[in-house]
Amino acid sequence: METNGGPTVRSHRFGAEVIAPFSYAATLQGFHGRNVGRTFSGYKLHCVLIERDTGISDPTQYCFEPDSSVLRYNRGYGWFQTVYNRIVPFQGLNLAQEVDVTDAGKPYLKLRVETIELISHVDDADFIAPPDAIGPLGDRVSGVSPVPINMSSLPQWPAWLRAQHFTVSVEIVIGRDGHVVSAHGVSGPPEGYKGCENAVRKWVFKPYLVLDKPVEVEQKVECSNN
């Protein structure tokens, strides 16, 4: 396996985008799917866009081979995009031997599978952290995907902004109890920062655990007005 960058964050994306690409979609509430066709370098795929029932946008989408369940492209949580190539069948599954993940268009992780074979014996003890294992420095992590519990709070935009199309990006810190403890706008029209910040401060997430210990999470979220 070939990876680019730090092992902790890359291993998380490996799990989120490669091993369980539908894990984020399975947590969503108040969403619906919309079928569309997309063309990638002249190659047509059948795509499902995951859309909120409210006005807040979400970029999540999954693209499959036409008339097939073979996943070829995934835009996951945030702006991570994953492309699956060299698909081979293995024990009733379709496995990609080439997987490329980008973050906002920049290379993030590359996975190349050379050999696929059965494991003769699996020992659960091999996957248990040792007793002296410690959590991340400062008890705060980033680059992970906490599970949302309540994201129903919507931004209240200034009246003169409501007729415009725009997106506000906000950097947040999710506390150990899953509540947002801070929110600071970083991009988009500055006049819209307060509306997005006030809305996301009311969002609630499932506490994120590292070695069974809740930690704070740094994350960037977006509010869009369409």
Give me the CATH number covering residue 162.
3.30.2420.10
Do 178 and 146 contact (CB within 8 A), yes or no? yes
pTM: 0.54
Show the domain range for 168: 140-225
Identify the domain boundary among 92, 112, 132: 112
Domain match, 97 and 54 both? yes
Proportion of the chain above pLDDT 90, given as a percent: 37
137 vs 45 pLDDT, higher one: 45
Proportion of the chain above pLDDT 70, given as a percent: 83
Domain match, 146 and 99 both? no
Could you tell me what percentage of the chain is helix, strand and coil, using 3-state DSSP and rounding each to the nearest 5? 15, 45, 40
DSSP letters spanning 203-215: -EEPPEEETTEEE
Domain match, 108 and 173 both? no
Q: Is 1 a member of any domain? A: no
Segment 8-56, tens digit of pLDDT: 444 455 556 666 777 767 766 778 888 999 998 889 999 998 887 766 5
Structural domains in the chain (count): 2
Q: How many CB atoms lie within 10 A of CB 185?
A: 20
Q: Is 2 a member of any domain? A: no
Q: How many CB atoms lie within 10 A of CB 154?
A: 16
Do 10 and 17 contact (CB within 8 A), yes or no? no
Q: How many CB atoms lie within 10 A of CB 89?
A: 9
